[in-house]
């Protein structure tokens, strides 16, 4: 008999320390007014002694606690992150150790702010192929890759983790998807460059490990490619979406996309005012918040659109029944 993936539980974890715009303006030439009016962000959470694996492990523990499962019942763990503790072991393997998921295989995926959407798509295909239960997480400590002297990027981002439990179900819940990438435009959002210090390596470089962004180019990309992507998924499927959960980069992007797509703004959930842009973690944190406050129910009655977009460039939309 065929089986399909269903989201049966959500969870998240935010580090305790919150930093307001006013606090940033104490050591950076910026202001609450500028940040709030350009981005909708009022504060963000940042780590003081934790790394991405800690945040993801706590989000996974939150999911297990709510769902009543133990780690050993999981078949797989997928973590979307661009800020892993190490290149190896993966954050997913660190989470596996932390929650004692002895029977799971675990790996990270790198698709920046689309990472959770890509990971969820992949996780659902794992379930279709026969696995029974897995966790898909998005987690980031972007504070460690930000150039805190660059006001044009440092004010935008935050740290956090969120995720979902995916389980086998007899009816399909993932109705449609369209995932896209364009590596030719990758230079407009970069971070984590690693200089080759080998004695055999001869090239010098201007590249840096700090996050660098061409904000205007990214804004334009969302208005063209991301808008088209969402429109295509909606037009090719006759399903009405109840809610839209987009990557939480900037409230102006969401306001403008809603207008462009001619979809009522109140269908777009937002929480970047509290968390800033948490890259791969933003959609699962928003999803968990909406499930926790009762806006979203995991009872197969609501259709939602999840859309990620960001570095790579990568972007993609999933249409699913929760």
* Residues marked as catalytic: 113, 247, 277
Residue ranges with strand state E in 68-130: 76-80, 105-109
> Is 30 a binder of ligand COA (CB under 6 A)?
yes
> Which residues from 43-102 bind ligand COA, rule CB under 6 A?
none
Considering only 17, 128, 144, 151, the residue that binds ligand COA (CB under 6 A) is 151
By C-alpha distance, which of 92, 32, 27 is closest to 56?
92
> Is 142 a binder of ligand COA (CB under 6 A)?
no
Number of neighbours of residue 89 by Cβ within 10 angstroms? 15
Rounded Cα distance between 137 and 161, Å, is: 7
Name every residue whose Cβ is closer than 8 Å to that of residue 89 and which is 6 or more positions away in sequence.
none
Angle made by CA atoms 271, 286, 37, in degrees to the nearest 5: 20
> Is 152 a binder of ligand COA (CB under 6 A)?
yes
> Is 192 a binder of ligand COA (CB under 6 A)?
no
Considering only 104, 113, 234, 286, the residue that binds ligand COA (CB under 6 A) is 113
In the bound complex, which residue of the shown chain has the CB atom lying closest to ligand COA? 215
Pairing mode, strands 76-80 and 133-141 = parallel
Beta-carbon-side half-sphere exposure of residue 42 (alpha carbons within 13 Å): 4
Q: What share of the chain is helix, strand, coil (3-state, %, to 5)?
A: 40, 25, 35
> Is 21 a binder of ligand COA (CB under 6 A)?
no
> Is 317 a binder of ligand COA (CB under 6 A)?
no
> Is 304 a binder of ligand COA (CB under 6 A)?
no
The interface mask with ligand COA, positions 234-273, x = CB under 6 A, is ---------------xx-----------------------
Q: Please, what is the minimum distance in Å from the beta carbon of residue 279 to ligand COA?
A: 7
Name every residue whose Cβ is closer than 8 Å to that of residue 235 and which is 6 or more positions away in sequence.
none
Considering only 172, 180, 215, 273, the residue that binds ligand COA (CB under 6 A) is 215
Give me the residues that bind ligand COA (CB under 6 A), please.
30, 34-35, 38-39, 113, 151-152, 155, 213, 215-216, 218-219, 249-250, 277, 310
């Amino acid at each position: 008999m065929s089986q399909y993936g269903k989201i049966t539980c959500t969870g998240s974890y935010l580090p305790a320390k919150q930093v307001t715009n006013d606090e940033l303006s104490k050591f950076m030439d910026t202001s609450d007014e500028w940040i709030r009016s350009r981005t909708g962000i009022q504060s963000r959470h940042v780590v003081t002694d934790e790394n991405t694996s800690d945040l993801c492990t706590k989000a996974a523990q939150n999911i297990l606690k709510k769902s009543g499962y133990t780690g050993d019942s999981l078949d797989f763990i997928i973590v979307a992150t661009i800020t892993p503790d190490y290149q190896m072991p993966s954050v997913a393997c660190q989470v596996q150790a932390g929650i004692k998921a002895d029977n799971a295989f675990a790996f990270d995926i790198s698709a920046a702010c689309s990472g959770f959407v890509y990971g969820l798509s992949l996780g659902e295909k794992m379930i279709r192929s026969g696995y029974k239960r897995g966790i898909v997480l998005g987690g980031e400590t972007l504070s460690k890759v930000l150039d805190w002297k660059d006001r044009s990027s440092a004010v935008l981002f935050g740290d956090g983790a969120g995720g979902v439990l995916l389980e086998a179900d007899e009816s399909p819940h993932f109705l449609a998807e369209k995932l896209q990438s364009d590596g030719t435009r990758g230079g407009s959002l970069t971070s984590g460059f690693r200089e080759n210090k080998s004695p055999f390596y001869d090239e010098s470089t201007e590249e840096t490990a700090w996050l660098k962004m061409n904000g205007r180019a990214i804004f334009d990309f969302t208005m063209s490619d991301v808008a088209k992507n969402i429109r295509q998924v909606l037009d090719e499927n006759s399903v009405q979406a109840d809610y839209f959960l987009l990557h939480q980069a900037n409230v102006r992007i969401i306001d403008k996309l809603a207008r462009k797509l001619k979809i009522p703004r109140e269908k777009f959930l937002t929480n970047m005012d509290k968390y800033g842009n948490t890259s791969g973690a933003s959609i699962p944190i928003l999803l968990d918040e909406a499930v926790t406050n009762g806006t979203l129910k995991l009872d197969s009655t609501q259709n939602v659109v999840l859309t990620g977009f960001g570095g790579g460039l990568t972007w993609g939309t999933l249409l699913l029944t929760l």
